[in-house]
Amino acid sequence: MKSKKGKILFLLHAHLPYIHHPDFENFMEERWLFEALTETYIPLIKVFKSLEKANIPFKLTISLSPTLMEMLNLNDLREKYHKHLLKLIELTEKEIIRTKFEDPRKYELAQHYRRELMEDMEIFSEEYHQDILKSFKEFKDKGYIEVITSNGTHGYLPFYRDYPEAIRAQIKSAVLTYKKYFGDRPKGIWLAECAYFKGLDRYLSQEDIRYFFVDTHGFTYADSKPRYDVYRPIITPNKVFVFARDPESSEQIWSAEIGYPGDPRYREFYRDIGYDREDDYIKPYIDPSGIRCNTGIKYHRITDKSLSLDKKEIYDLREAENVVKEHARDYLHKKTLQIRKLSTILDEEEPIIVAPFDAELFGHWWYEGPKFLEELFRQSFENEDLEFSTPSEFLQTVKKVQITYPAESSWGGGGYHDVWLNSKNDWIYKHIHEITERMIEKANTFKFPSNLQKRVLNQMMREVLLAQASDWPFIMTTGTTIEYAKNRVKCHINRFFDLEKMLEKQEINDERLSFYEWVDNIFRNIDYTIFSSDYRTN
């Protein structure tokens, strides 16, 4: 008996915190966006183009966080990225000359990097006129990808559950920002950090969001155990569909122990010429302060995880390309077996395997990741057991769905809220809750503000939302830029208080207000009334 087909749903969550320092020519943390563009977003666009050119159908879900969308739309960041690319191209040209006498394999890689960067420049500047969001819209409109959103500033929503207005503001800003760039409303949402609490679905329902995702145990400990485990969506009593992560399918890709990215033949992330080259040579291409950082030009392979960085062997591009093919084949084989097994279990229902990832895993952390995705789609073209799908496409086939609430959960370490609430970051919540409460109060008080008052209130809204970002407590727990994260929380809270004082004293300092508007230049199409208690959704 021939097995029924099953579906795979790949989701890439693309998010970066809002980092914008227009008063600095160079700012270290702004490089996160530039690295993500060069190593993940543009390579993904190249994959889409390559597949389209080869007439290979592909289905992929991408969630773009509103903070990322807004940053990709800022002129000064676009200009900075343009300069950043030019610098990198210049560096590869120097590297081509230099590696010619070092090692033929390095020389070949330097040429490869230059070619890649020239293509990036072509795509970024010439083809999309510095507007990368247009390319995502293009592939969305062609039906290849389903683009969804994430909460406004990636706020960790379970911590604001006592403030319905704040939850609404995070969801509303997500919907409005998505609409601004994609023209329609988002069909689904990737909740920041996959963090869900009971009742959150009601807010999503009010915004006509049809589906969201939870981690595996969101289903395991659901109010009523889902009959088909994580292999079919459920629906909440508020009529929102929920998909859950299949641990096996994501682990095969990202696990350090058994995952593909740890293969010794893949490129070593931590060995970068930003650290290897001598000061005078590398200085123009790292942070002006002299702090070493990644350039993205790397010549070594993982070799052996236990080896120190100086013992790593030279990376072989062609060998890595073969490994990508091998791994894509292996993954599809495993998924085929899984689908066949599931098909025998799931009665008459078609199984769906949900595999969500942080987008930056593909390309940034795992250099070969985008090529792996491309290979997956190429090889799955002929597969008779499974095919890739998107949530909306899959939901069209659903006739009957189990009703239950998923359990409160996140996809952070431990599965709950520990990463975002612990002794390293708990001090922030007293202050963020305070400004959240004051923002709600102001939104309820100022019903007919003057133009100037409205500007102040709108900026206060931006500061509250930016302070709520889950990134700051996350970095405090795990990151290497802890001081930056602490500083950002303080900045937004202090700016809020400064603006509040202006409003209360009726002494608005236009210069400082303009400065805050210039720096925290986000959600221009949204006003502060999203924080009012009687704000009408939809």
Q: Point out the annotated binding site for substrate.
A: 245, 262, 411, 471
Least CB distance from residue 331 to other proteins, whole Å? Answer: 15
Q: What is the dihedral of CA 433, 167, 244, 139, to 10 degrees?
A: -120
Residue ranges in 101-120 that form contacts with other proteins under rule CB under 8 A:
none
Residue selected from 143, 183, 284, 479 as contacting other proteins according to rule CB under 8 A: 479
Q: Does 290 bind other proteins (CB under 8 A)?
A: no
Residue ranges in 37-76 that form contacts with other proteins under rule CB under 8 A:
73, 75
Q: Does 446 bind other proteins (CB under 8 A)?
A: no
Give dist(CA 316, CA 268) in Å, integer. 11
Span of 139-147, 192-200, 384-392, 499-507 interacting with other proteins by CB under 8 A:
192-200
Residue ranges in 309-328 that form contacts with other proteins under rule CB under 8 A:
309
Task: Give catalytic residue positions.
Answer: 193, 358
Span of 1-9, 166-174, 213-221, 316-324 interacting with other proteins by CB under 8 A:
213-221
Indicate the annotated binding residues.
Answer: 245, 262, 411, 471
The residue (of 31 and 327) whose beta carbon lies closer to other proteins is 31
Please state whether beta strands 241-244 and 234-235 pair in parallel, antiparallel, or not at all (unpaired).
antiparallel
Binding mask 404-443 for other proteins (x = CB under 8 A): x--xxx-xxxxxxxxx-xxx--xx-xxx-xx---------
The residue (of 117 and 513) whose beta carbon lies closer to other proteins is 513
Residue selected from 8, 35, 48, 139 as contacting other proteins according to rule CB under 8 A: 35
Q: Does 350 bind other proteins (CB under 8 A)?
A: no
Residue selected from 7, 8, 14, 17 as contacting other proteins according to rule CB under 8 A: 17
* 49 contacts 311 by C-beta, under 8 angstroms: no
Nearest to 459, CA basis, from 391, 524, 373, 378:
524
Contacts of residues 111-119 at CB distance under 8 Å and 24 or more positions apart, as own/partner, are 112/317, 113/296, 113/297, 114/89, 117/38, 117/85, 117/88, 117/89, 117/92, 118/89, 119/46
Least CB distance from residue 97 to other proteins, whole Å? Answer: 25
Give dist(CA 538, CA 527) in Å, integer. 15
The residue (of 113 and 516) whose beta carbon lies closer to other proteins is 516
Give dist(CA 509, CA 512) in Å, integer. 6
Nearest to 146, CA basis, from 48, 282, 273, 25:
48
Span of 57-65, 85-93, 200-208, 521-529 interacting with other proteins by CB under 8 A:
521-529
Least CB distance from residue 366 to other proteins, whole Å? Answer: 7
Give dist(CA 277, CA 274) in Å, integer. 6
Least CB distance from residue 113 to other proteins, whole Å? Answer: 18
DSSP string, 121-182: HIIIIIISTT-HHHHHHHHHHTTSEEEEEE-TT-B-GGGGTT-HHHHHHHHHHHHHHHHHHH
Least CB distance from residue 54 to other proteins, whole Å? Answer: 27
The residue (of 52 and 127) whose beta carbon lies closer to other proteins is 127
Residue selected from 319, 341, 445, 533 as contacting other proteins according to rule CB under 8 A: 341
The residue (of 50 and 205) whose beta carbon lies closer to other proteins is 205
Q: Does 504 bind other proteins (CB under 8 A)?
A: no
**CB neighbours (10 Å) of residue 104?**
10
Q: Does 137 bind other proteins (CB under 8 A)?
A: no
Span of 46-54, 100-108, 123-131, 373-381 interacting with other proteins by CB under 8 A:
123-131
* 336 contacts 385 by C-beta, under 8 angstroms: yes
Give dist(CA 209, CA 249) in Å, integer. 26
Q: Give helix 164-182 / helix 132-141 axis angle, nearest 10°.
A: 80
What is the helix (H) or strand (E) element at residue 485, kind and residue range?
helix 482-505
Q: Does 402 bind other proteins (CB under 8 A)?
A: yes
Give dist(CA 56, CA 455) in Å, integer. 49
Q: Does 249 bind other proteins (CB under 8 A)?
A: no
The residue (of 51 and 513) whose beta carbon lies closer to other proteins is 513
* 154 contacts 63 by C-beta, under 8 angstroms: no
Please state whether beta strands 6-14 and 352-358 pair in parallel, antiparallel, or not at all (unpaired).
parallel
Residue selected from 38, 153, 177, 458 as contacting other proteins according to rule CB under 8 A: 458
Residue selected from 83, 142, 283, 305 as contacting other proteins according to rule CB under 8 A: 305
